[in-house]
Amino acid sequence: MFIKTLITEPILFFRIVLIVIFSITLHELAHGWAAMSQGDNTPQKTGHLTLNPLVHMGKESIIFLCFMGIAWGQMPVNPSNFRSPKVGNILVSAAGPLSNLALGILFILVLKFISNQSLTGLFSEEFIYLAARINLTLFLFNLLPIPPLDGFHVFSEIFPQLKPLQYSQFGIFAMMLLFIIPEFGTGLSDMTDLVIQSVLGGESAVS
């Protein structure tokens, strides 16, 4: 389990937990801001326009993150309030993954600027590389067209014939398969490493 990392590599453990909590919080806030822009004030009425990760993730998600390395968040929205339900649902659903993409790009740019400086401690070059890697992985993962992921809501608006899958066991079965197959997570990580190294042009030795 992921909690073993606390004993074997405590710095890595706290880095991952901190980055994931920060990234999920901004991911959910992006959903909320997008919903507000589409005419739905549900995120504001429910008190979810906050940087408090407990509001977005809950204690259960944070505990699960520390023990299993898996976490989730939620942002209450009401699509019936969107000015255009179809466009609004696409924009609101895509906002979360796009926030992770933006964070990933930002961390890569920071990494390029500090690559020639010697930083130590928790917020080192390795920390920033890991932050970029995690956010790009979250971006790719959440775009998968599998319920309840954001990608499903985007693709089901473009291809309405997918909508019935939202109320079937397909999503649960597919998610279980993804977490059971270790090559899936490795593949996503390899893809993000390739992207980061390509942008850095071999400037960073972090891996």
Q: Which residues are catalytic?
A: 28
Q: Check: CB of residue 189 under 8 Å from CB of residue 137.
A: yes
In whole angstroms, give the CA distance from residue 132 to residue 111: 9
Query: Which candidate, 66, 58, 57, 67, places its Cα nearest to that of 25?
Result: 57
In whole angstroms, give the CA distance from residue 158 to residue 23: 27
In whole angstroms, give the CA distance from residue 183 to residue 181: 5
In whole angstroms, give the CA distance from residue 123 to residue 86: 41
Q: Dig out the tokens for 114 from the structure.
A: 């500090």
Cis peptide before 43 (omega within 30 of 0): no
